Amino acid sequence: MGMLRIISKRGDDRLFWNVQDAQAGDAEATAAIQEAERIFAKARAKGATAFRVEPGKPVERLEQFDPQASEIIMVPRVVGG
């Protein structure tokens, strides 16, 4: 299972997808991945930064959506205070 978390004023919005099901031809699973990719791109266009967070691995900045990632966290645009 993959999860996209988008930090927002609501805490975080979450989207889930299943790569195995999508690879097996499940239309809903494919649509879920496409939706996650669309939201990823939209957030990036608004200035958000994405990070791949995997248990036991260093956090990594992500430039493009990766459906193989188990968890992606999107941080909203930040500014110097």
Partner 1 sequence: MNIEMLMALLGEGILLLLLGAFIFGNSFKRPEAKRRANELLCAVLTPEQYSQLTQRGHIDIPSPSDPERIYRVPKYPGRVQVREKGRVTMWLCLQPYDWVPDADVVVIHKLMIEADEETYLQKANQITPFSFDYNVAH
Q: Which residues make up the interface to partner 1 (CB under 8 A)?
A: 5, 7-12, 47, 49, 51, 53, 58-61, 73, 75-81
Closest CB 26 distance from partner 1, rounded Å: 27
Task: Tell me the C-alpha to C-alpha distance, in Å, between residue 70 and each of 19, 33, 47, 58, 81.
Answer: 10, 12, 22, 13, 32
Q: How many CA atoms lie within 13 A of 8 on its CB side?
A: 9
**By C-beta, is 27 or 79 nearer to partner 1?**
79
At closest approach, how far in Å is the CB of 77 from partner 1? 4
